[in-house]
Chains A and B, each alone.
Chain A
Amino acid sequence: MDMDWKRNSQLLMIIFGIIGIMPLFFGSTNFIMHILIMCLIWSVVASCWDLIMGFAGIFSFGQVAFFVIGSYASAIISAKFSVPPIFAVILAGFVAGFLGVLVGLPCLKLKGAYIALVTFAVHMILEPVLKGDIGRAIGTGGSRGILTIAPMNILGYTFNSSDPVPYFYLMFFLAVASSFIILAVIKSHWGDAFLALKDSEQFATCLGVSAFKYKLIVFALTSFITGMIGGFYAHYVGMLSTRMLGIDLFVTLMVILVIGGVGKFPGAIVGSFITIALNEMLSPLGSYRPIILGAMVIVLVLLLPDGIVGLIQKIMPKKKSGKSLIA
């Protein structure tokens, strides 16, 4: 077994081991359980963003858009076609994944900031589409949003927001599964192809790596997982509006990545817990909160450009593996 894989999966197990026992201490405090569920949600969304941006080097700014697409898709599919929420969530992943490929296609010819512009344009046009006639026609509820979304239901058991522990463990399972899928991808030949294309696309393609194939794979995979998590979010909170497309969530995810370390998976998971906890702790400061968070990002970028996980890696240098990753 590859040492990197072993080391990273052990790290993931430690992180999720700690998170998994949280309900033992906070299970009776709904407010804290809600924060923990949101931490898990943002940890997966940020990890997907890290996969496409940090590993594949594609400056996609469409991550929140795919999350919102997934959440609306799951809410609409479950309401309009009476599909059980758990299947609606999976179908929402496919909807987001398909749209991810559609957005990825024009990005194949672009680089750097131009990809950021195209993907952010998708983010920008999503709000008027969801609020406008097209949105109303497909069931987004226009400006009002969707106010009643069926709660998650698995094998006859209906999850309830007033008892968040089962919701926590469902999201915990999704986060663990998503994180190990992301780790497996990073440590597979797909991950090597992403890194090679990021470092030198011309050289990588001349060595046989198909830029077309692997860039579309990363768009499809990250938007699929993000869309599924968006679907879970919709059924968990029970209502949706386009407010999520505001700058707050976008910036929060960016802060999570910066704190965790870009291209330093599982940094995004650590970053999400730190960022959300900080956000809550700073809430008494009111409007000063975003200013302090912004200042923290500047300081962290200057002092810890590789985030907290990058710092840990520097303190504890890894042993030489001597093993080929592609095996």
Chain B
Amino acid sequence: MLEIKNVTKKFGELTAVNNLSFTVEKGQVFGIAGPNGAGKSTLYNLITGLYPFEGSIKFEGKEIRGFPSHKIAKLGIARTFQIPQTFPSLTVKKSIAIGNYFGSDAEFDPAYVDEILKFVNLYDKQDEKTGQLKLLDKKMLMIAAALGTRPKILMLDEPMAGSNSKEILSLMELIKRINQDMGITIIIIEHFMKVLTELTSKLLIIETGTEICCGDPNDVTSDSRVIECYLGDGHD
């Protein structure tokens, strides 16, 4: 469904993403992990057209390199951000409507917006301005607005960051429902290995923009290169 091939991104002398290649299959929950500064969010920015890059990214067999972000959204790739992004000037409902109106080729559907509001448990807060929301609700809203675009792939950037254990459980449940009930392919960047091993069917570990290993989450997390990358080479 999504094919990343020899993708490289340099910021001057710094190589943020280095010759990275991997494939995400339809219906999969694909995990990406790595230390801070590994290039995970940069990779999202490349896939969603925010930065130019070298290499190739194909979505459903179509090359999307050079496409602007809004066109990529319309193709069916939606994302969230590590630092919650909302529209403080707009209400919760309008924020989701933005995704449905602009990000989907289908006609704007207020009933679908209501459905999404209920799906993420924000129906009672639909008229609130988004700036007033709590952190968890902001994250839910970001996911809801992305779902508003009727995406085929949803890319989540550290959705659990700053959440307590109860919130992590509810977010994990939501991600499972998005994948299973809505049939949306998920790519998730996360630091919590427990979340990744439970949710994902394939896990990619990167460090300084380079692939360390990629495969079954249980195998990957016990790989000595991954342990070394997280804990250093002096661990027991």
A interface residues, Cβ below 8 angstroms from B? 189, 192-193, 195-196, 198-200, 202-212, 263, 320-322, 324-327
The smallest C-beta distance from A318 to any residue of chain B, in angstroms, reads: 10
Q: Are B68 and A210 in contact (CB under 8 A)?
A: yes
Q: Are A208 and B74 in contact (CB under 8 A)?
A: yes
Tally of contact residues, B, Cβ under 8 A: 37
B interface residues, Cβ below 8 angstroms from A? 48, 50, 68-70, 72-74, 78-79, 81, 85-90, 93-95, 97-99, 101-104, 108, 110, 113, 126-127, 142, 145-146, 148-149
- Residues of chain A with a CB closer than 8 A to B69's CB: 202, 205-206
The contact sample of 10 A-B pairs, CB cut-off 8 A, is A195-B89, A196-B98, A200-B86, A202-B50, A202-B81, A208-B74, A209-B70, A211-B70, A324-B110, A327-B108
The smallest C-beta distance from B43 to any residue of chain A, in angstroms, reads: 14
- Residues of chain B with a CB closer than 8 A to A326's CB: 94, 97-98, 101, 108
The smallest C-beta distance from B133 to any residue of chain A, in angstroms, reads: 13
- Residues of chain B with a CB closer than 8 A to A210's CB: 68, 70, 102
Nearest A residue to B145 via CB reads: A207
- Residues of chain A with a CB closer than 8 A to B85's CB: 200, 202-203
**Contact A207:B68 (CB < 8 A) given known A199-B90, A200-B87, A324-B93:** no
- Residues of chain B with a CB closer than 8 A to A198's CB: 89
- Residues of chain A with a CB closer than 8 A to B102's CB: 189, 193, 207-210
Q: Are B86 and A327 in contact (CB under 8 A)?
A: no
The smallest C-beta distance from A262 to any residue of chain B, in angstroms, reads: 12
Known interface pairs A192-B101, A206-B50; 12 further A-B residue pairs with C-beta atoms within 8 A, sorted by A's residue number: A192-B97, A195-B87, A203-B87, A205-B50, A205-B73, A206-B69, A207-B99, A207-B103, A209-B103, A210-B70, A263-B89, A321-B127
Q: Are B89 and A199 in contact (CB under 8 A)?
A: yes
- Residues of chain A with a CB closer than 8 A to B127's CB: 320-322
The smallest C-beta distance from B129 to any residue of chain A, in angstroms, reads: 11
Q: Are A205 and B68 in contact (CB under 8 A)?
A: yes
**Contact A199:B79 (CB < 8 A) given known A208-B73, A322-B127, A326-B97:** no
- Residues of chain B with a CB closer than 8 A to A204's CB: 87, 98
Which 6 A-B residue pairs are closest in the complex by CB-CB distance?
A208-B103, A208-B102, A203-B85, A205-B69, A208-B73, A199-B87
The smallest C-beta distance from A188 to any residue of chain B, in angstroms, reads: 11
**Contact A206:B79 (CB < 8 A) given known A195-B90, A196-B90, A199-B87:** yes
Cα distance A137–B68 when bound, in Å? Answer: 42
B94, B127, B148 interface centre (most CB from chain A within 10 Å): B94
- Residues of chain A with a CB closer than 8 A to B126's CB: 322
- Residues of chain A with a CB closer than 8 A to B86's CB: 199-200, 203
- Residues of chain A with a CB closer than 8 A to B90's CB: 192, 195-196, 199
- Residues of chain A with a CB closer than 8 A to B48's CB: 206
The smallest C-beta distance from A238 to any residue of chain B, in angstroms, reads: 42
Cα distance A327–B72 when bound, in Å? Answer: 25
Cα distance A324–B126 when bound, in Å? Answer: 10
Nearest A residue to B77 via CB reads: A206
Cα distance A195–B89 when bound, in Å? Answer: 6
A198, A204, A211 interface centre (most CB from chain B within 10 Å): A204
The smallest C-beta distance from A48 to any residue of chain B, in angstroms, reads: 19
